Structure 1
Amino acid sequence: MAQMKRNSSYSKGPLQRVSPLKPGLRKAQVWGAAKVRAAQHSKKSFIRFCGGVLAVFMAVTALALWMGGFWPQLIENGKLYKQHRLMAMGFVVSRVDVMGEGRLNEQDVLRAVSIRPGDYFFGVDLEAAQRRTESLPWVDRAVVRRLWPNRIVVQLVENQPYALWQNKGQFSLVNATGEIIAPVTSETVIPKNLLQVVGKGASAEAEALENTLALWPALRRRTSSAVFVSESRWDLMIDGDVKVKLPATNVKEALAHLADLQARSQILDRTVSEIDLRLPDRITVRPTDSKQA
């Protein structure tokens, strides 16, 4: 009898179906069914529902392309298509203009820039072209830019020779910082009154020497060359035949003393081969006759 009571308890109340789906999936099913019913009764809901389905489809497609390794190629094909369309519309380089060249040959500049008529206007690498141009001899700075709608302009600022440097038998033109502009060849035009400096390290110290000599213009005009001795001090060659030995320090005081001697006794116009100013308290003069001794 007790057993029958237990069994009868199961028949009380309405029957409830237990869903075989997990709770999360069942909620998704209910949400999807609600969206479908809403799309059937409202045009706005229908459009929104179609947009959602399309977004999910596109996301799944993009994920499949990425996992399959096709996404980079798809992007590249898109870029090529865009490039071809723009080139068909006329966005190609029609000419490359070089401005500011003097000692440089225009063809050498164009070869360094490596941008040619017919190239894709927006595809040229301006920074790389600028670096290649600035690597040329004589070029101090270069600017490569686009000029709408189809021109490339290369503007150059050339190095200015500051000194003629002789080292180990090789002559080179250098700028104010001592960097080599170009080696001297038979075709090189050397500017007049360019100071010739000789020896290791002389190019880097040429600007300091020039600035010091500029305080005595008469001495500077008569200085034909300067030898950097032991990378510490200078020997000046005056008029090509009088050697003036300067100290390693207090160069201005030594040159002031030399200028004063020249003003009082015209020592540089006498028959001397060497004037030693290395000691602050004395001056040594060697006559021309004893030069070979």
Structure 2
Amino acid sequence: MQQVRSEAFFAGARPVDPRTLPVPARRSPLQRVNNRFNRAFVLHGWRIRRGVTIAVLLVAATALIQVREPIGAGFAALSTFAQGHFADAGLAVGEISITGQTLTSEQAIFDALGIQPDTSTLAFDVESARSRIAELPAVESVTVRKTYPAEVTVAISEKVPVARWRVDGVTFVVDAAGEQIGEDRGAYGDLPLVIGDGAADDAMVMIRALDHFPDLSKGLVALSRIADRRWDMIYDTGLRIQLPEQGVAQALGKLSFYQAQYQLLDRDVTVIDLRVDSVVAVRPTTPPEDPEKS
């Protein structure tokens, strides 16, 4: 380090009035806080931005929850108001045409449509009504149309009933899958009648098996499901034919052969038991007389 003589230092010096020297301004508390915030934002800006964003979202969500019910009530009131004005203007649904229903009641269809006296054609939701009607048990497919100014048309295609199922004193109509599609009110007397728990589920298999032996259907009034395992055939004469659990088609073929050869179904018997493959057992209506007593 080079030393400077005092004579050299004072050589360039000049007298100065101390009052003319600048006085540094003191930083206020607000400036100090601002400086600290700027320093913190530079170092931790991403954390601060994330916190602010979360806070804003929370405030917005809280405000939305608080105003949701008033907004919903306002929209409902506005919708009702508009419906009434559309109805007053001649756009209220005034005519409903329904075709294709037999098993499905008109009342059930009206309920599914959801049309009120002040429902306007303009506001009627065709797709929602179609979805509700399609859920009715007997409906296979449905078309709903609205025609301005005031008409709604419903065209229904129903499932095909294949049998009647009687359980607990009530007779239902069932489709090929065994599903209940309506009550039998006397219009389906030509369909086969099945009786007992579980009969509807297996009815189609038994009906198709009998289709191969039309001679066995004469006078047949019901098919009774026994313990949900096998079938009994019941005739109008009171004759009951007991079928096996397995090999039903073979048993029906044997019965058809005996009918063709010996008119077994026309004999004076109450029960024909085919549950054992190698045996055809019969129970006569009148027990045979004992030869020793004659």
**TM-score of the pair, normalised by structure 2:** 0.64
Equivalent pairs: percent with the same residue? Answer: 26
Q: Which amino acid aligns with 1:281?
A: S
Where does 1:3-22 land on structure 2 (aligned, <5 Å)?
none
Give the superposition deviation at 1:68: 9.8
Does the C-alpha gap of structure 1 residues 242 and 69 become closer, same or farther in structure 2, counting only changes over 3 Å? closer
Matches within 5 A, 1:243-282: 243-282=240-279
Q: Secondary structure at the match of 2:110?
A: helix
1:176 paired to 2:173: no
Distance in 2, Cα, partners of 1:112 & 1:78: 24
- Structure 1 runs (4+) deviating above 4 angstroms are 1-4, 66-92
Equivalent-residue separation in structure 2 for 1:251 and 1:143 (angstroms): 39
TM-score w.r.t. the length of structure 1 is 0.64
Correspondence for 1:194 among 182, 191, 195: 191
Q: Which amino acid aligns with 1:268?
A: L
- For 1:245-293, what per-residue CA distance to the aligned partner results, in whole angstroms no more than 9, with x for missing partners? 11111111110111111111111111111111111222112222139xx
For residue 218 of structure 2, what is the amino acid of its counterpart? R
Partner SS, residue 194 of structure 1: coil
Gaps of 5+ in 1: 5-21, 23-62
| 1:62-211 map, 5 Å | 88=86, 92-102=92-102, 104-116=104-116, 118-134=118-134, 139-141=138-140, 143=142, 145-150=144-149, 151-183=151-183, 188-211=185-208
Matched AA of 1:282: V
Range that drifts further, 249-258 or 273-282 = 273-282
- State the shift of 1:196 in Å: 1.8
Aligned partner of residue 289 in structure 1, secondary structure: coil
Cα RMSD (Å): 4.5
The CA distance in 2 between the partners of 1:78 and 1:163, in whole Å, is: 50
Partner AA of 1:154 in structure 2: V
Aligned-pair CA distance for 1:149: 3.0
Asked if the contact 2:258–2:264 (Cα under 8 Å) also holds between the matched residues in 1, the reply is yes
Question: Contact (CA 8 Å) 1:162, 1:175: kept in 2 or not?
Answer: yes
Residues 287/85 of structure 1: CA separation in 2 closer, same or farther (3 Å cut): closer
Question: Once the 2 structures are TM-superposed, how far is the Cα of residue 91 of structure 1 from its aligned partner?
Answer: 5.5
User: How far apart, in 1, do the equivalents of 2:250 and 2:173 lie?
Assistant: 29
Counterpart of 1:225? 222
Q: Point out where structure 2 has 5 or more consecutive residues left out of the alignment.
A: 1-8, 15-33, 35-59, 289-294
Larger radius of gyration: 2
